[in-house]
Amino acid sequence: MASFRSLTADRRPFHEFRTKSRNSAESRKEKSYGVVNLHVFEWLDSAVQGKEISGVQSIEALEAQSKGAVRVIFGPPDKPTGNYGESLLEFLEEWGIPSAFVDEGLQGVSQSFAAREDVDGTTFVWFHFLCKTLAIVDKKIVHLGGEDEDTSGLKMRQTAQSQPQANFSWIKPGFVLKIREQNGTPPKAARTFSSGSGDTLSPTTAPPVVELFCFGVPASFQNRFRALIDTAKCEDLIRDPYALLEVAFEEMYKVLDWTGWNLGDIFGSMETQALEMARNPGKATKDSLKDHFTGLHNLAKHTIYLRENCEAALATLQGLYDHHESVTGKTPSFHQRFTRQALEYRKTLFESTQRRLTSLDARISNIIQLSFNVVTQGDSKVMQSENQSMKTIAVTTLLFMPLGTVASIFGRWRSLFRRLRRKGAPARIAP
C-alpha cells in the first residue's frame, strides 16, 4: 500500500482523468485509446552529444529505444481528450507524475509552481504556463477553431468568434522535472591520493537520472532542444538539471513576447485610423464605426490577458529561482551559478514585456476615449447642420409661396391687431 505522503497517493485525479476521457470519446464517437506520439531528446551517460528519437508510441518502445541518463520527453497536452486521453494516462502513471499536476490539468489552473520530494527521495518540480496566442490573417486577428474545441453553446461561440479582432486561442504547456537518485546502484571506485598512504580507492555515488516531461509545448521547443543536443554535454546537465527548466522559460518567453509585439502592430493601424477620424469628426459618423469600437475592445481584452500571463510567469519564475537558491545554497558551483544568472536575466526580459503591455493598455484606453469623443462631436455637428437645414426650408417656403397667400396671412394678423387696440387691449399678441 502506498504511503499517504507519496505524491501519487491521491488517485482521484487519475480516476477523473480517465472518466472525462471516456466521456469525451463517447460524445465524439472516437476511441479513447488513441495513439500518443512521443518525441525524445536524450543524453547517454558521459556522452558529449545527445540524440533525438521520434515516433515512440508505448512504454515498452520508450524503454527499449531510450537509455539516456538525461531525457527530455515531449507529449501531447495533459488534458482528458477523447482521442488520446486514456493512452496518455498510462504514461503519466508509469512515469510517476504527481497527482497534483494531473489535477491542475483537470481544474484549468492558469499558474502554478511546486517543488516536492517523494517518499523514495525523487525530486519533482512542476508548473503550468498559460499563454494567450493569436492568429493573424491579412493583418487582422481572427479565430481559428481547433478539432478539440468545445462545442457547447456553439451558436453563441460562433457569434463571439465572428467579431472584429476576436480570438479565443490559448496554450497551456505543462512541465515536470524529475530527478531520481540511483541509490540502488553499486558505487564505483575512484582513485584518490593522501599524503600518508599514497593512492587509495574511495566509493563514489552514481549520478542521478534526470527527466523533463513537456506536455503541449509549441513546435519551437523541438528546434531549441535539437540545437541543445549538439552543444550541451550530459555531465553539464546532470550537474545542474534546472538548466532544462531555464530553457523552457526561454522558449515560453519568446511565445509571449511575439504575441505582445503582434498585438501592438495590429493596434498601431487602428490607432492611426482613429487619429485620422479625429481630423474630420463629421466624416467619422458617416463611416461604419461599430467594427472599430468592437475591435478596440477586443484588443484591450487580449492585452489584459497577456498582462495576466506575464505576471503569472514572473511569479512562477520567482518560485523556481527561490527553490534553486535553496537547493544550491550560498556557495553554488559554476554550473549552478550559470543557471541562477540565466534565471535572473530571464526575469528582466519578462519585466520588459510587462512594461510594454502596460503602455499598450494605456494607449488603447486613450484611443477608445478619443474615438468616443470624435463620434460625439460628429453627432453634434450633424444636429447643428439639421437645424440650419430647417431654417433654410422655412425661409425658402416663404419666398416661394404665392403672394396672395402671404398677403392673406399678414392681413389677418394686422386686422386682429387693430381690433385689439380699439378695445384698449395691450398692443401685443400673446403666444
For the chain, which ranges sit under pLDDT 50?
A: 1, 185, 187, 189-190, 193-197, 202, 429-431
Per-residue pLDDT at 340: 97
- pLDDT at res. 425: 54
Radius of gyration of the chain (CA): 35
C-alpha distances in Å from residue 170, one per residue of 73, 134, 255, 297, 372: 22, 8, 11, 19, 31
What angle do the packed helices 334-400 and 290-328 form, to 10 degrees?
Answer: 170
Question: HEC profile for the chain?
Answer: CCCCCCCCCCCHHHHHHHHHHHHHHHHHCCCCCCCCCEEEEEECCCCCCCEEEEEECCHHHHHHHCCCCEEEEEECCCCCCCCCHHHHHHHHHHHCCCHHHHHHHHHCCCECCEEEECCCCCEEEEEEECEECCEEECCEEECCCCCCCCCCCHHHHHHHHCCCCCCCCEECCEEEEEEECCCCCCCEEEEEEECCCEEEEEEECCCCEEEEEEECCCCHHHHHHHHHHHHCCHHHHHHCCCHHHHHHHHHHHHHHHHHHHHHHHHHHHHHHHHHHHHHCHHHHHHCCCHHHHHHHHHHHHHHHHHHHHHHHHHHHHHHHHHHHHHHHCCCCCHHHHHHHHHHHHHHHHHHHHHHHHHHHHHHHHHHHHHHHHHHHHHHHHHHHHHHHHHHHHHHHHHHHCCHHHHHHHHHHHHHHHHHHHHCCCCCCCCC
Listing from the earlier edge strand, what are the strands of the sheet with 38-43? 51-56, 38-43, 70-75, 209-215, 174-180, 123-128, 114-117
Cα 85 from Cα 77, distance rounded (Å): 9
User: Residues 79-100: pLDDT tens digits?
Assistant: 998 888 899 999 999 999 999 9
Rounded distance between C-alpha atoms, residue 136 and residue 148, angstroms:
20
Nearest to 211 by CA among 308, 301, 338, 125: 125
C-alpha cell of 243? Answer: 538548466
Whether residue 124 contacts residue 98, with contact meaning beta carbons closer than 8 Å, is answered with: yes
pTM of the model: 0.81
List pLDDT tens digits, range 2-42.
Answer: 567 899 999 999 999 999 998 887 766 666 567 899 999 99
Q: What is the 3-state secondary structure (H, E, C) of 129-184?
A: ECEECCEEECCEEECCCCCCCCCCCHHHHHHHHCCCCCCCCEECCEEEEEEECCCC
Q: Give the model's pLDDT for residue 275.
A: 87
Q: Exposed, middle or buried by CB within 10 Å (0-12, 13-18, 19+), for 47?
A: middle
Q: Could you give the CA distance from residue 210 to residue 230 in angstroms, rounded to a whole number? A: 18
